[in-house]
Amino acid sequence: MQIGVEVSRAVENKRIFVVVGDEIIRSALQFMLHDENETHELSSVEQAYAKGIDWRPDLVILGLDVVEGTGAGVIAEIGGHFPGVKILLVAEAAGHPLTQTCLRSGAHDVLPKPFTIEAVRHKVDVLLGRKKLPMASLGLLQPIARN
């Protein structure tokens, strides 16, 4: 079943690895993304590295649970295995201290729970270069202080 899929995206063939320890979250994200992307569910970074030998990902969606088990250094490690890959971190909240550590270590964005199809697809599209962020969210439209 395809939900709101643009034909150009369905044939674009962007590859996403969903590396999350929780099988339900992994399956939900795969379901939300599989119509417009080649999406693979993996439960560990080791599985991602093995699959990535032949099938390099464009985006890795990484669960904070995986980071908790391996350490924040996994962000740089993923970047070393897949140069240029974008990393989207799945977390309970963007303000979590480990989430902030991961962002400083090279993760590109955070996907906070709860998920909606629209929010997940939008974050993925932005990281894959399909959509641009509004100027205000980039902090470029700040009020000018007048003296």
- The pTM score is 0.82
Domain boundaries, the chain: 10-128
Quick one: pLDDT at residue 132? Answer: 72
Per-residue pLDDT of 62-121, as tens digits, reads 999 999 999 999 999 999 999 999 999 999 988 889 999 999 999 999 999 999 999 999
Number of H helices, E strands in the chain: 7, 5
Q: Helix, strand or coil for residue 11?
A: coil
Specify the CATH architecture of the domain 10-128.
3-Layer(aba) Sandwich (3.40)
Among 49, 91, 87, CA closest to 68: 91
